[in-house]
Amino acid sequence: MSILSVRCLSQKFCRQAYILANRSILSPTQKLPPTNGTCRPAHDSLYHMVKKRTLEARTKLQANKYPNHQACLTTPRSSEYEQDYDDPPPGYTTTNINNNNNPPYTTMPSSSSPPVSSSSQSSGSSYKNIPNQEPQYKVGYADCRTVCSASEVLKSSECEKSKPVIDPCKQEKDPCEEFRRIRRETNTVGGSGDGSDGAGGSGGAGGGQGDKDCEEKNRALKLKCLLGALAALLAGGFLAWILSNRSKDGSGKGAGDGDDDEDSETALKRAQITGKVTTPASSESLPKHVPYLIIGGGTAAFSAFRAIKSNDATAKVLMISNEYRKPYMRPPLSKELWYTPNANEDPIKDYRFKQWTGSERSLYFEPDEYFMDPEKLEDSVKGGIAVAQGFAVKKVDAQNRVVTLNDGYQIAYDECLIATGCAPKNLTMFRDAPPSVREKVMVYRTPEDFDRLRRYAKEKRSITIVGNGFIGSELACSLAHFSKQNGGGKVYQVFQEKGNMSKVLPNYLSAWTMKKMEELGVCVIPDASIREAARDESHLKLELNNGMTLLSDIVVVCVGCSPNTALANPSRLEVDRSLGGFVVNAELEARRNLYVAGDASCFYDPLLGRRRVEHHDHSVVSGRLAGENMTGAKKPYQHQSMFWSDLGPEVGYEGIGLVDSSLPTVGVFALPSASERQADNLTESENSSENHRTVETSIGDSEKTSPFECESDEKEEYGKGVIFYLKNDKIVGILLWNLFNRIGLARTIINQNKKYDDLNEVAKLFEIHS
């Protein structure tokens, strides 16, 4: 119900109440001087003729004016009006009941309408004085005036009742007196001069008292109508307010819908997960001052808390997160979680999955019981960690050590860490698309995204992945496996590069990986981009720049992410122009007592220069170091972070250092057997007993490969191997292909920062044949 509708309804209430209050329901009568005589007998013939014609003329006039009013009938009375039957009493009409010589009867008009004559329709009507016999016409009176209520006033301005209601003020009165009084009310002129008022002389005093009582009741009825209209107006406004609140909430439940305690708790949890309810409910429940404040609720933030707690047993840590979950890890969302059978359907439950080693664990770092309520943090003697879910920080005053939330609430701190992470990117064409297209497009980063995509996959929808990076390639393999196990729809992967993971893997290994993904069931479309997206009744129509057209139910954009640095401008913090992220020193400090860790930090690497890393290991280690420095350690960040990726359970790799396919690479792979060795395009090591091959690629300004090139008809197998990434003939990055638990050795080799004459000898250290 809109505000305009409520306003119109209110105006109607007031108008109808005004009309009802001013209507002459029981208007006071014009009292005539009482006559002491009785009803006179018949007059001379001239007087009867004049009176009769006057009555007929007046009756016809009022019948023409009110043609639709009908008369009311009551029981016959034989003791009245027996003096003269030549003419009916004034105001009465005669009507034949039928044509069977039945005596006519006289009817009385209703008080709300003038008398209507039906004598023109009655033939043979006569009036004769027949003493001591039953009258040939019947006298009756009934007040047909309806009684209006407030509800009827709302329906119509005319009070209409199908059944007449007798006015209780007039039930005990004489019919002749009532007839004369009603006639005087209808005709506002004085007496007709016929002396007909004499019949009511004996009841004059009683009639005056009755008129007074009716007037009082009339006033009471007016007051009731006004109060009823006012009550209806207030009720309508209250109903409109309830409807407006329900439309805003969109819940479909009114205020009176009662649920039990379990349903209320479940609804609260769902609301917290979907981002409708903050924890606590208001920011004013948060403490005014905390020793340790962490902005962000991801991996780096929780790792920093663990480091703080290990160095300060009674530390009180407040974590402010704009998400509505406790801290969790992100890598399983595109890997193991899809391969776990019978995964949890309910998003409220804990996300549990099986690792490749067979052990089972949860997506969350700790259960809910591990955390304490923010309201109890200040009073805790042993300290602990509290998470304020659903809040965001808009400004950090590093000089005064105060943070300001979006609602203006301020929290003072002693030490603060910014670990805001990064947000997934979207394509411009989808951001600017109509809503019908945007609702079919999603990014992938949170458990909510996993639940939504898994639901689409179980419904056998076709899914298109845009991007060939870590998330895009891992998700494409996982979806293909899930669709194969559950009879799902087709999985497409579209990207502009020539192969999967082309920014990380050398060209030959990227092309081999793409073929491997096609064997897993992914329809890979390289060298293509989406030119236009349109929506039909149920699908997205994707037109590619290579002339192809795809029909897809959902599009998942996986084209990287950008650091969350919205705090930088109002907080006057420096952001790297080329890499993004908050610029920090070797101790991860952006300002004194203000640290940055995780994906949002841009740090200086003594070996590789200024860097910003978006890997899980970097978040863990940088968060731990920042937490130690917040307790006074003041250690420099010199860690070479690693990453890992899984393309299904058969292919996995780990990398460390600067792993960039634009750098020259040397790859050493183990051959399946000696008979399958191909020496045409491979550089053999001096020790031929070592069953391996070396692949060297050098990429400069123009892309070229030497001396190995993967032909289309060749079926190379890259079971195990190691790839060295070189810069100025020094190893700056190492990728271990299907080799695990050797990342420590790779880190040692990079930290040596030296040139090697024979990389085959270095590859032997990794035992690729074991």
Residues 444 and 427: beta-carbon distance below 8 Å: no
Helix (H, G, I), strand (E, B) or coil at 685: coil
Query: Which has the closest alpha carbon to 89: 9, 175, 24?
Result: 175
Predicted confidence at residue 218, as pLDDT, reads 77
Predicted confidence at residue 253, as pLDDT, reads 38
**Can you spell out the DSSP letters for 60-103?**
HHHHHHSTT--EE-----SSSS-S--SSPPTT-EEE-S-SSSPP
| Torsion sign across C-alpha atoms 603, 606, 610, 611 | negative
Residues 394 and 570: beta-carbon distance below 8 Å: yes
- Tell me the C-alpha distance between 475 and 465, whole Å: 8
Predicted confidence at residue 61, as pLDDT, reads 77
Q: Per-block average pLDDT, block size 10, for the chain (770 residues)? A: 69 76 51 46 67 80 62 42 44 43 43 40 41 43 44 44 45 58 56 41 47 72 82 79 53 38 53 65 92 96 96 95 92 90 64 84 92 92 93 95 95 97 94 92 94 90 94 94 87 94 93 92 94 88 93 94 95 95 96 96 91 94 97 93 87 92 92 47 37 58 36 62 94 93 93 90 88
Residues 677 and 671: beta-carbon distance below 8 Å: yes
Query: Which has the closest alpha carbon to 388: 279, 272, 275?
Result: 279
Query: Which has the closest alpha carbon to 556: 482, 485, 468, 487?
Result: 468
- Spatial CB neighbours of 607, under 8 Å, sequence gap ≥ 6: 640, 732, 750, 751, 753
> Cβ of 96: how many Cβ atoms within 10 Å?
18
Cα–Cα distances (Å) from 677 to 506, 683, 686, 691, 736, in that order, read 21, 11, 15, 8, 21
Query: Which has the closest alpha carbon to 391: 409, 371, 373?
Result: 409
Residues 25 and 218: beta-carbon distance below 8 Å: yes
In whole angstroms, what separates CA 738 from the centre of its chain?
A: 45
Residues 296 and 598: beta-carbon distance below 8 Å: yes
Cα–Cα distances (Å) from 90 to 159, 193, 463, in that order, read 29, 12, 92
Query: Which has the closest alpha carbon to 294: 417, 420, 421, 422?
Result: 417
Element (H, E) at 556: strand 554-557
Identity at 225, one-letter amino acid code = C
